[in-house]
Structure 1
Amino acid sequence: MLHKWLDERDERRARRGDEDKKVTDLALDADLAFSAAQNVDSIAEFCAHADHAVANSVSFYGWDGDTSDVVWEDGWITFPSSLETDIVENNTVRAKVTQGRSSDHALVVFHHWNAPSRKPQLAQFFAWQGITVVEVAMPYHLERSRPGSSHADYMLSPNLGRTIQSMRQAVLDGRKIVGILNDAGYKKVSVLGMSLGSWVAGLVASHEPMIGKAVLLLTAGSLADMVWTGRATRHIRASLEGKVELSELRKAWAPLSLESYSGQLARSDLALQLVLAERDTVVLPQVSRQLIETLNRSGATPKVLNLDCGHYSLSLPPYILRAGFAGSRLLHRQI
């Protein structure tokens, strides 16, 4: 009975945004994703650039280390994004800081796709434990929303190049926040991501050596598989189907797949906690299991908590409490 209620509740929650999510056209726009891509008009050419980005991910996700343009005042961190887009509002990064008692441990939080607000309860939970929490607005969300848009359609869409650009921008913004925290004296910096934010957190953790711990909620490895099979992204699949095969989408979005960087995620000084929902229709359990299997083959030993709830019902007790305490245990664990 409980499970039926949870499933129905999740489906009602999922339907809320359906009217705003429209089927559109496939767009490559490789020049948005890759600086060297010009006049790319085939998926095969796009995938070749994607292969190069994965092979050279240190530079693809690299940043210059400059934090001189940062303003930190009144509990907010503000700075211009390292990657400039054609939406002016999206180019300024804002992050809310909830100060913890500890002067050496900070947690950078990346919210879920289409998040309407930050998570003050989450921030207060970890701040109460002494950890300073920094909640960053991802591209095209919150203060960075595109004027006139009903949801963050530029962050994840049938535009393959813009999706990579947006996710790369989120990673570069996240790495800059880590640098800001390091400059402020934080010796330990961890990341936490939820749903789409877990991909960003995982990409940051795989490319930023300062990250020692990562908590990934409702995550998986292949963003392409998540989009192709998930309840929340049916409109994207409908936009792509018949024009791009799933196998091609996997190659095109390989720079965004956590499985592409399983070796970096398996490094000995990084601890991972995955929290998954067994009744998830947005990030299907089998897609999450593929990531776990890939990490295990790479030598990683992630902690995995499987909860018998859905994607949206994770926010309900007792599931959110179990997820929170699992994250807390990892963050306080000595590596």
Structure 2
Amino acid sequence: MNKWLSILFDKVGLYSLHRKKSLQTQFCHDVSLQPFTINSDRASFYQLNTIPDVLFELTDQNNYLLGSYSYNSPIYSEDKDNNIAKGMCFLSKNGKEPVHVIIVHGWRSDSLNKFKSIFLKQMQKKEFNVYFPTLPYHFERASNSLYSGEYMISANVCRTITAIRQAVVEIRALIQWLKQNKGGKVILIGISLGGYISNLVSLYEKEIDVLVSVMYANNLSYEIWHTSIGKHIKEDLERNNFTYEQLQECWSILRADEAKPLVSKEKILLISGKYDQYLTEQDAKNLWLAWGKPRRLFYHCGHAGILFNRKKIAKDTMNFIEDSIANGSE
């Protein structure tokens, strides 16, 4: 896609995104929690202590079982409606050794339609099981907020930490439950915020067979402070005299480039948009370098390329998954 057209589409998208903003300050910083997050051992911080029971509600449709799943979140927040982890699923009835694909959506998504339109048909053709987890404070988990995702990332510094931690540990719980109860391969795919969350999961979860991260972030504090996507959050922080240096310090435990993934480098695919206006090219590059330069694809598009290049994303992802599974079975 043409560079200037890509930038234009992203700017239009950002304008639309920012039309919805918090009506009151979200700023909160619990000083008592700051030493805990700064001094915490990262592995302990994201530890999964027990694997919760996953409950399914399914209906039969041809060769698939369609429905939802839910389980108690291993990390509790102060918001009751946010403490049940849940999602949609499409489960194959082929009886073969399963391939489970977990697809993690983006920030402020108000439906899964965009993500299903990219991957679902291709995954079902291969008879994979597909799971779409709901991130904290999104969809029905956001009943007390103005819009989906408002409370996941905001100027409430400690709530953001809890929400990111909650997302990581919840996905770890789903992965481990699938491995223990269903067996087979687990493929983790994240898009935008979902890519960032998936990157963090890969640092602590050894049961991931393939990781694909699309238009991902790496350093959340950097993106909030230096890109248009975080402008209202930055304004809220600055109004309360909270500096970039303070945010970096508090959110350092949320950085994906501070550790190495437990997935082998050969099983990681990173996809970036060269003209992305939501996330910076440098931040994406920093992760790629820190992880030892796994396979990375550069699309000539912006963040809106998630939609405009969905066929290419699906094709490149499916080819990488199939190659990785084939090589892993040799």
Q: TM-score interval w.r.t. the shorter chain?
A: 0.7 to 0.9
Q: 1:2 to 1:142 in 2, by over 3 A?
A: same
Q: 1:25 to 1:147 in 2, by over 3 A?
A: closer
> Distance between the aligned counterparts of 1:216 and 1:268, measured in 2?
14
1:65 aligns with 50
2:61 aligns with none
> Distance between the aligned counterparts of 2:100 and 2:74, measured in 1?
22
Name the SS for the 2:209 alignment partner. strand
Q: Which moved more, 1:160-169 or 1:213-222?
A: 213-222
CA contact (8 A) 1:273 1:326 kept: no
Question: Which residue type is aligned with residue 312 of structure 2?
Answer: R
Taking only the aligned residue pairs, the percentage that are identical comes to 22
> Distance between the aligned counterparts of 1:146 and 1:274, measured in 2?
33
Counterparts of 1:109-258 in structure 2 under 5 Å? Answer: 109-118=103-112, 119-121=115-117, 122-241=119-238, 243-258=241-256
The gaps in structure 1 that reach 5 residues or longer are 31-37, 41-45
Q: CA deviation at 1:139?
A: 0.4
1:5-47 deviation digits (Å, cap 9, x = unpaired): 33222212211121322473642135xxxxxxx4x5xxxxx2x
Name the SS for the 2:211 alignment partner. strand
Q: CA deviation at 1:309?
A: 0.8
1:76 aligns with 68
CA contact (8 A) 1:199 1:256 kept: no
Name the SS for the 1:86 alignment partner. coil
Q: Give the RMSD, CA atoms, in angstroms.
A: 2.1
2:314 aligns with 324
The gaps in structure 2 that reach 5 residues or longer are 59-66
CA contact (8 A) 1:50 1:251 kept: no
Q: Which moved more, 1:209-218 or 1:118-127?
A: 118-127
Q: Which moved more, 1:3-12 or 1:170-179?
A: 3-12
1:34 aligns with none
1:63-114 deviation digits (Å, cap 9, x = unpaired): 223333x212313211121122222221112221112455321111110001
CA contact (8 A) 1:220 1:290 kept: no
Q: 1:88 to 1:270 in 2, by over 3 A?
A: farther
Question: Which residue type is aligned with residue 65 of structure 1?
Answer: T
1:212-252 deviation digits (Å, cap 9, x = unpaired): 21111111321111111222211111222373333332221
CA contact (8 A) 2:193 2:217 kept: no
Q: TM-score, normalised by structure 1?
A: 0.85
1:35 aligns with none
> Distance between the aligned counterparts of 2:69 and 2:266, measured in 1?
26
> Distance between the aligned counterparts of 1:29 and 1:123, measured in 2?
41
> Distance between the aligned counterparts of 1:168 and 1:117, measured in 2?
22
> Distance between the aligned counterparts of 1:266 and 1:66, measured in 2?
19
> Distance between the aligned counterparts of 1:126 and 1:81, measured in 2?
27
2:300 aligns with 308
2:78 counterpart of 1:86: yes
CA contact (8 A) 2:219 2:254 kept: yes
Name the SS for the 2:288 alignment partner. helix
**Number of corresponding residues:** 310
Aligned partner of 1:49 among 27, 32, 36? 36
Question: Which residue type is aligned with residue 207 of structure 1?
Answer: Y
1:246-269 deviation digits (Å, cap 9, x = unpaired): 3332221111110112x2x16537
